[in-house]
């Protein structure tokens, strides 16, 4: 845009660039000093400790039982989350239903499964065989067509998946419910005025928009689930934590085993966090004018802007 | 023999709890008419509009669209509620445009338009897209087909919303204050589209504060206040020569 000559302010030249003395932050230097000392102490411990055995940590990290423990942990996480998410959506839809029986049933489910510790539920599923020795298909209180022994049907792994998944469903239901309630009522009205059925409105219009609210806590739940699977070691299922413990009790390298296991958890949760970021980005389409940058785009932009702004006032 | 009116209301009552919003509305909207509903806010005009496609249930009276009872079925003198599926089916024939647009924000303009025909009428995708593009061209937004609603101005969003409603090939269009949420300079574009629809012979019921539009395009006008029809007639007559005191008072403020 150009400003007509006669209305332009009198040209007095561009004023001198401001080069002010920056405000001092003595507190920052104190913080740096404290943290540096603590870090140095930790570093010293790690290097000089006689129980850490970094070479052993490395060996345990790639030991075959640990690796298969990692696989088991991932399997547990994925399956439990699938049950949790599907069950959670179902429970949330039931809870918001106009049918009082469905919404009441959903409420009771959430009440029971959120009100008892997941470890107790885990034991429960593992020992349910004592209460229900056989599981069969037939007419309730009538003849049975086929039946199985509970402990044959529900092994250790299935019990663990069920316990974690059904517990997760209760938490996830609340997340989904909050997401559905966050969508403007006008959306459902517009959809039904177009002739979409309740189910189509839910799947095509409401849930995709609810996803933006659901995804961040869902990511946290997944990361949390990955760590919660370590509870399964209590029913002697050989997942990552149990694998580490077994090595520790066999070799007495307790600390290296814990460190190796921790590194695995940290690695997996980090990868999940990155995945969560991209999923969130996908579901934010339409709500932002421009898609948020990927971390890599951000780094590149920062590098460029850093070069440009160098020397100027910040 | 006279043609069945598109909408016939007989003593329509609607209350929310203790508050009675509609206190006996009688009116008829003929086929091909542009029917304007005006009145102060809280007069019940939007509520009446929402009763026509059964977004709100009426408490007493009868409401017919194209000769059929809205939301109910009469058997042996007793009213039976229609199942949700049938209500949804009947809504296909009635397009609605909202004050706040209510476009689906996670879909592009074209996807918004195509959604209902493909899901509800099972129109093949390619054909629906072609028709969708035609409709977007009609409202002057063919170049915005790939944009999300958040990338469009209010006026553009409302025109997409009109195209979305038209995609179901309705026999009746309901407009609930379609220009009230728009910046003044964007109102004209939306009214132009509505004017075009009227010329094509679409039956339209328009709740509006745009008296200029009502005078120019409307075939019939009803002034509502306090849940009743105060005055009705041809827009030019009612607007230039209001008979009722309340109509006069209202028009003196908005004209």
From the number of C-beta atoms within 10 Å of its C-beta (0-12, 13-18, 19+), residue A150 rates as middle
The C-alpha atoms of residue A211 and residue A216 are separated, in whole angstroms, by: 9
Residue contact B98–A186, C-beta within 8 A = yes
Closest residue in B to A212 (Cα–Cα): B106
Q: Chain A residue closest to B97 (CA)?
A: A190
Q: How far is CA A8 from CA A3, A5, A13, B39, in A?
A: 6, 5, 13, 50
What gap in Å lies between CA A312 and CA A286, rounded to an integer?
A: 36
Instruction: Give the residue on B whose Cα is nearest the Cα of A208.
Output: B106
Cross-chain Cβ contact B150/A184 below 8 Å: no
Instruction: Answer whether residue A311 shows pLDDT above 50.
Output: no
**What confidence tens digit (pLDDT) does each residue in A139-167 have?**
887 777 877 777 777 788 999 999 999 99
DSSP A17: P
Q: State the Cα–Cα distance between residues B71 and B79, nearest whole angstrom.
A: 10
What Cα–Cα distance (Å) separates residue A237 from each residue in A77, A159, B63, B249?
A: 14, 10, 66, 81
Average pLDDT over residues A86-110: 94
Decide: B114 and B167 in contact? Cβ < 8 Å: yes
Whole-model pTM over 0.90: no
Task: State residue A14's pLDDT score.
Answer: 87
DSSP letter string over A99-120?
Answer: -HHHHHHHHHHHHHHHHS-HHH
> What pLDDT band is residue A138 in, cutting at 50, 70 and 90?
confident
The tens digit of pLDDT for each residue in B176-224 reads 999 998 988 889 999 999 999 999 999 999 999 999 999 999 999 999 9
User: In chain B, pLDDT over 90 holds for what percent of residues?
Assistant: 89
Closest CA to A134 of A153, A158, A106: A153
Q: How far is CA B137 from CA A137, A196, B141, B144, in A?
A: 59, 24, 6, 10
Using an 8 Å CB-CB cutoff, list chain A residues near B115. Answer: 194, 196, 204
CB pairs under 8 A between A and B: 75
Which of B55, B103, B151 lies at the smallest CB-CB distance from A193?
A: B55
* Closest by CA position to B112, among listed A196, A211, A199, A288: A196
10 Å CB burial of residue B228 (0-12, 13-18, 19+) is middle
Chain A residues with at least one Cβ partner in B under 8 Å: 184, 186-187, 189-198, 200, 204-205, 208-209, 283, 285-289
Q: Which residues of B touch A208 (CB under 8 A)?
A: 106
Least Cα separation, residue A294 to chain B (angstroms)? 20
Planar angle of CA B135, A203, B133, nearest 5 degrees: 10
Residue A244 near residue A260, CB atoms below 8 Å: yes
- Using an 8 Å CB-CB cutoff, list chain B residues near A196: 88, 115-116, 119-120
Please name the residues in contact with B130: beta carbons below 8 A apart, sequence gap of 6 or more: none
* pLDDT, average across residues B241-254: 91
Within a 13 Å sphere around the CA of A181, how many CA atoms are in the beta-carbon half?
Answer: 10
Q: Which of A197, A209, A288 lies nearest to residue B88, judging by beta carbons?
A: A197
- Helical packing angle, A156-182 and A64-95, nearest 10°: 40
Q: How far apart are CA A125 and CA A173, in angstroms?
A: 21
Cβ contact B46:B52 at 8 Å = no
Cβ atoms of B171 and B93 closer than 8 Å? yes
Beta carbons of A190 and B104 less than 8 Å apart: yes
Contact B164 A195 (CB under 8 A): no
Helix axes B154-166, B184-199, angle to 10 degrees: 20
Look at A208 and B106 and tell me if their CB atoms are within 8 Å: yes
What is the C-alpha separation between A69 and A53, in angstroms, rounded? Answer: 22
**Which candidate from A189, A190, A198 shows the least CB-CB separation from B84?**
A198
Kindly give the pairing relationship between strand B34-38 and strand B60-65: unpaired
Chain A residues with CB under 8 Å of B105 CB are 209, 286-287
| B176/A137: higher pLDDT | B176
Q: Verify whether the Cβ–Cβ distance A204 to B119 is below 8 Å.
A: yes
* pLDDT recorded at residue A155: 82
A289-303 average pLDDT score: 70
Contact B55 A196 (CB under 8 A): no
Quickly count: other Cβ atoms within 10 Å of residue B194's Cβ.
25
| pLDDT, tens digit (0-9, with 9 covering 90-100), for A206-235 | 999 998 889 889 999 999 999 999 999 998
Per-residue pLDDT at B36: 96
Give B14's strand partners: B22
- Nearest Cα residue to B170 out of B139, B146, B137, B205: B205
| Residue A115 CA, distance from chain mean position | 21
């Amino acid at each position: 845009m150009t400003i007509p000559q006669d209305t332009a302010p009198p040209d007095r030249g561009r004023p001198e660039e401001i080069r002010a003395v920056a405000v001092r932050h003595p507190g920052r230097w104190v913080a740096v000093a404290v943290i540096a000392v603590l870090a140095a102490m930790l570093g010293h411990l790690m290097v000089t400790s006689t129980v850490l055995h970094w070479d052993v940590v490395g060996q345990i990290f790639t030991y075959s039982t640990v690796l298969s423990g990692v696989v088991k942990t991932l399997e547990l996480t994925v399956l439990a989350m699938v049950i949790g998410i599907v069950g959670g959506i179902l429970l949330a839809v039931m809870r918001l239903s106009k049918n009082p029986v469905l919404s009441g049933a959903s409420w009771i489910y959430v009440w029971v499964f959120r009100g008892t510790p997941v470890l107790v539920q885990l034991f429960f599923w593992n020992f349910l065989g004592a209460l229900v020795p056989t599981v069969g298909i037939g007419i309730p209180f009538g003849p049975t067509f086929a039946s199985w022994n509970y402990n044959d049907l529900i092994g250790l792994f299935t019990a663990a998946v069920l316990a974690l998944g059904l517990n997760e469903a209760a938490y996830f239901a609340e997340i989904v419910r909050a997401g559905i309630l966050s969508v403007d009522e006008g959306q459902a009205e517009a959809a039904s005025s177009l002739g979409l059925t309740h189910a189509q409105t839910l799947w095509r219009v409401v849930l995709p928009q609810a996803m933006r609210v659901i995804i961040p806590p869902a990511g946290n739940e997944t990361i949390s689930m990955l760590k919660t699977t370590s509870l399964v070691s209590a029913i002697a299922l050989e997942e990552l934590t149990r694998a580490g413990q077994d090595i520790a009790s066999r070799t007495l390298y307790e600390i290296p085993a814990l460190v190796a296991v921790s590194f695995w958890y940290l690695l997996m949760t980090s990868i999940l966090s990155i995945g969560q970021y991209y999923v969130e980005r996908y579901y934010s389409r339409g709500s932002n004018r421009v898609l948020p940058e990927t971390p890599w785009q951000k780094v590149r932009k920062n590098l460029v802007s850093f070069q440009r702004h160098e020397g100027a006032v910040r | 023999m006279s043609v069945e009116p598109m909408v016939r209301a007989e003593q329509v009552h609607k209350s929310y709890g203790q508050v009675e919003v509609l206190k006996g509305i009688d009116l008829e909207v003929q086929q091909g008419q542009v029917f304007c509903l005006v009145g102060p806010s809280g007069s019940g005009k939007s509520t009446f509009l929402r009763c026509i496609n059964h977004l709100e249930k009426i408490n007493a009276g009868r409401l017919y669209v194209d000769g059929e009872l809205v939301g109910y079925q009469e058997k042996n003198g007793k009213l039976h509620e229609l199942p949700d599926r049938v209500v949804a089916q009947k809504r296909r024939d009635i397009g609605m445009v909202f004050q706040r647009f209510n476009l689906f924000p996670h879909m592009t303009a074209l996807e918004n338009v195509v959604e209902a025909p493909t899901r509800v009428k099972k129109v093949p995708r390619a054909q629906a897209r072609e028709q969708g593009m035609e409709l977007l061209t009609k409202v002057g937004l063919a170049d915005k087909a790939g944009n999300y609603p958040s990338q469009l101005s209010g006026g553009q969003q409302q025109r997409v919303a009109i195209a979305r409603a038209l995609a179901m090939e309705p026999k009746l269009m309901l407009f609930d204050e379609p220009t009230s949420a728009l910046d003044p300079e964007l109102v004209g574009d939306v009214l132009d589209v509505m004017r075009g629809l009227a010329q094509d012979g679409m039956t339209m019921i328009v709740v509006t504060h745009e008296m200029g539009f009502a005078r120019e395009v409307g075939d019939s006008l009803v002034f509502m206040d306090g849940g009743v029809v105060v005055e009705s007639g041809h827009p030019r007559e009612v607007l230039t020569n209001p008979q009722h005191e309340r109509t006069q008072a209202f028009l003196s403020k908005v004209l």
